[in-house]
Amino acid sequence: LFPSFFLTSANNFAMKGKRKTLNAGDVLSAMEEMEFQRFVAPLKESLEVYRREQKGKKEARKDKDKKADSEEQDKSREEENDDDDERMEEEEQNDEEEVDN
């Protein structure tokens, strides 16, 4: 019964904000309304720690993706240079053949 009442209270806060999705603020407001203020401060701290960790992971992922992208670009440039070198060698051979003819 308690979880149902708790979620209903949090849902009411979301509806007042004209939203269909609950967020952390709705849950914290419901806890305060239900007179669980002593849990609000520790939960806020835990939420901040969690958000910082997620932000750090996201930034690390972005850095990793950027590094992978730059490596892919370097490889593609090398392949293009190799292709260009091969084309130039073929053209030189063709030019030599034409001169011989």
40 in any annotated domain: yes
Q: What is the pTM of this model?
A: 0.51
What pLDDT is recorded for position 5?
81
64 in any annotated domain: no
What pLDDT is recorded for position 23?
86
At what angle are helices 2-16 and 24-33 packed, to 10 degrees?
120
Give residue 50's domain range.
Answer: 1-57
72 in any annotated domain: no
* Count of structural domains within the chain: 1
27 in any annotated domain: yes
84 in any annotated domain: no
Spans of the chain below 50 pLDDT:
none
Domain CATH number, residue 23: 1.10.20.10
22 in any annotated domain: yes
68 in any annotated domain: no
